[in-house]
Amino acid sequence: MKIKFRNTVQCCTATLLLLSAISCASNKIDSSRKLIWSDEFNGKGLPDSLKWNYDVGGGGYGNNEAQFYTKNRLENARMENGNLIIEARKENWENSKYTSARLLTKGKFSFQYGTVEVRAKLPKGRGTWPAIWMMSEKMKKWPDDGELDIMEHVGFNPGYIHASVHTKKYNHIQGTQKTDTLIVKDVSEKFHVYKAEWTPEKIDVYIDDQKFFTYENKEKTYEAWPFDQPYFIILNLAVGGFWGGKEGIDDQIFPQKYYIDYVRVYQTQ
């Protein structure tokens, strides 16, 4: 339907009313969720120790990974120009040939249900394996107590972003994990927003608001759905491993940087 206005004043008035209505609608949508935790990485130096712990060590972490994760080492994890940078380096360290970092909010922040948003630019090259994931604050046994992988990217398969859940019934050891993939060709050249929406009924995972993975709480058992408990957030850059190193490690690519612009967690009010 085409609307005709008699004069400029009437046209401007109608436009202002329309913009006002759009603004009100947007505000209403935004106000439906509350920011409960975030890190914008606007400082300089080491990550905020009030928000992040570290996993430290080598030994493969159950995945035959090649790196040694360090703690409080600027070369491997630092805030710079508004980003957290996790850097994997080729250097000998504690019987490992590479160093990197794995940061986690365990013991400092966990939550049950909500939306996690992480804006990040990924490293590239064969052997890199960055991830954004979550595990239970009360983890006693993996995979029984659950794992949510919001983003995984293995460098030998550039642009393929994976999201998965692992539970006692559904996990990669048994080959029964629930997973899906979205191809985003410029993940190492541009920042993208990786998001998970978690409710008692389901988990949805998105890239830039495009949903590509859903896991529903259909069976109502702990073996299939251990996600009714607080989880913490993990950011890491692995090197090699059963998956990340499936086609070897290209030593010519290092150092490689994993940029995280922000991490934000919302809950519905």
Q: Where are the domains of the chain?
A: 1-31, 34-268
Three-state secondary structure of the chain:
CCCCCCCHHHHHHHHHHHHHHHHHHHHHHHCCEEEEEEECCCCCECCCCCCCEEECECHHHHCCECEEECCCCCCCEEEECCEEEEEEEEEEECCEEEEECEEECCCCCCECCEEEEEEEECCCCCCEEEEEEEEECCCCCCCCCCEEEEEECCCCCCCEEEEEEECCCCCCCCCCCEEEEEECCCCCCCCEEEEEEECCCEEEEEECCEEEEEEECCCCCCCCCCCCCCEEEEEEEEEECCCCCCCCCCHHHCCEEEEEEEEEEEEEC
Give the CATH fold of the 34-268 domain: Jelly Rolls (2.60.120)
pLDDT of residue 265: 98
Q: Which residues contact 12 (CB under 8 A, 6 or more apart)?
A: none
- Taking a C-beta distance cutoff of 8 angstroms, is the pair 178, 219 a contact? no
pLDDT digits (tens, 9 = 90+) for 106-157: 999 999 999 999 999 999 999 999 999 999 999 999 999 999 999 999 999 9
pTM: 0.88
pLDDT digits (tens, 9 = 90+) for 192-238: 999 999 999 999 999 999 999 999 999 999 999 999 999 999 999 99
- Taking a C-beta distance cutoff of 8 angstroms, is the pair 132, 234 a contact? yes
Sign of CA dihedral 138, 144, 146, 151: positive
Q: Which residue has the tokens 């439906």?
A: 32
Query: Does the pLDDT at position 190 exceed 60?
Result: yes
Which residues belong to the active site?
147, 152
pLDDT of residue 31: 74
